[in-house]
Amino acid sequence: MPLFEVSKISEMGASPEIASFANEGIDKLRARLVNEIAVSVLPNRIVKSMVQVFFQGHIRRSLMLIEGGYEAYQSGRGLVVYICARAIYETVACVLDFCDKLTDHLVAGDFIKTCHFLYARTHAARMEGLTGDVDGFGNTAINILTQIDRLSKHLPNLREDYEFLSERAHPNALGALHFFSEDESTNEDEGLYKFSNGTEQKPSLSILISAGRMLGLMEHGMSVMEAKLAEHHKLRNRR
C-alpha cells in the first residue's frame, strides 16, 4: 500500500508527481527486504554479497525513518518529522557516496582494496573503541557533511534543504524554544511566553514527501550499482 495518498496530496500543498515517485521508491525498497544474506568467500561473489549486506541495513533504516516520520506527522509530533526527514537525507547521501566510491574501486580493479573498502563502510563508526586500521585501511566513518556536499553537486539546493531540517532537528531556537512557545509580550517591561506541546506547528507533508523522493533516488542508485557489478562480473569471467 502506498505510504502517501496521492489523491489528497494537492490539498496539502505538495506535488502529486513527487509523491508518486516517492511511493514508487518506497515500495521498491520494501520489495528488497530479505531476512538473510549468505556472504560467499569466493572472490567473484564476495563483493556482490557484501554490497547487498550494506544495502539491506540502509534499506531497513530508511523504511523505519520514513514510516516512523509519517506516523509522527499523523499524530502531530512535528519535531520528530523533521528529525526523521533529516536522517533520511543523511542515509541517502551515505549510500550514494558508497556507490560512487565502489564504482571507482571497480574501475581500478584492485580486489584487495575493494574488499577493504567494503569492510570499512559496512563497519563504519566514529566512536573511539569501534574504529581501527587493518593493513592501513581504517573504518572511521566519513563525515556526513562531506557526503551531503558531494551529493549536492548533483542535486541543487540539497545542502540548503539539509540545513533547514538541521536547524529544527538540533536543540537550537527553532528546534526548542520557538517550537514549543510563543512570545506574547505586550510591553517592554514584562515578557510573556506561552508554551504548548508543539502539535500546533504541524509541518507540511511536503517535508516527508521530499525525503521520500530522496529514497526513490537512493533505490535507483542501488539498481545502477547492481548493474555495474553484474557487468564487472562478466568482464572478470572473460579474462
Question: From CA 233, how far away is CA 213, in angstroms rounded?
Answer: 31
- Residue 179: predicted pLDDT: 86
Tell whether 175 is covered by a domain.
yes
- What is the share, in percent, of the chain residues with pLDDT greater than 90? 62
Total tally of structural domains belonging to the chain: 1
What is the value of pTM for the model shown? 0.91
Question: From CA 220, how far away is CA 212, in angstroms rounded?
Answer: 13
Tell whether 8 is covered by a domain.
no
- What is the share, in percent, of the chain residues with pLDDT greater than 70? 92
Question: From CA 182, how far away is CA 125, in angstroms rounded?
Answer: 40
- Residue 124: predicted pLDDT: 92
Segment of 8-12, 109-113, 148-152 carrying the highest mean pLDDT: 148-152
Report the 10 Å Cβ neighbour count for 208: 26
Tell whether 194 is covered by a domain.
no
The tens digit of pLDDT for each residue in 51-60 reads 999 999 999 9
CB-side neighbour CA atoms (13 Å) of 69: 28
Q: Which domain holds residue 30?
A: 13-189+200-238
The three three-digit cell numbers of residue 98, written as one number: 558508497
Please list, in sequence order, all residues whose beta carbon lies within 8 angstroms of the beta carbon of residue 10, skipping any fewer than 6 positions away: 16
The three three-digit cell numbers of residue 150, written as one number: 558531494
The tens digit of pLDDT for each residue in 48-107 reads 999 999 999 999 999 999 999 999 999 989 999 999 999 999 999 999 999 999 999 999
Question: From CA 220, how far away is CA 21, in angstroms rounded?
Answer: 11
Question: Higher confidence at residue 111 or residue 11?
Answer: 111
Tell whether 5 is covered by a domain.
no
CA dist list (Å): 115 to 78, 197, 222: 41, 49, 18
Give residue for cell 511566553.
193
How would residue 236 be classed by pLDDT, with cut points 50, 70 and 90?
low
- Residue 197: predicted pLDDT: 82
Cα 127 to chain centroid, rounded:
20
Please list, in sequence order, all residues whose beta carbon lies within 8 angstroms of the beta carbon of residue 134, skipping any fewer than 6 positions away: 116, 119
User: What do you get for the CA distance between the two ends of the chain, in Å?
Assistant: 46
Among 42-46, 86-90, 108-112, name the one with the lowest average pLDDT: 42-46
Q: Are 4 and 18 in contact (CB under 8 A)?
A: no
DSSP state of 136: T
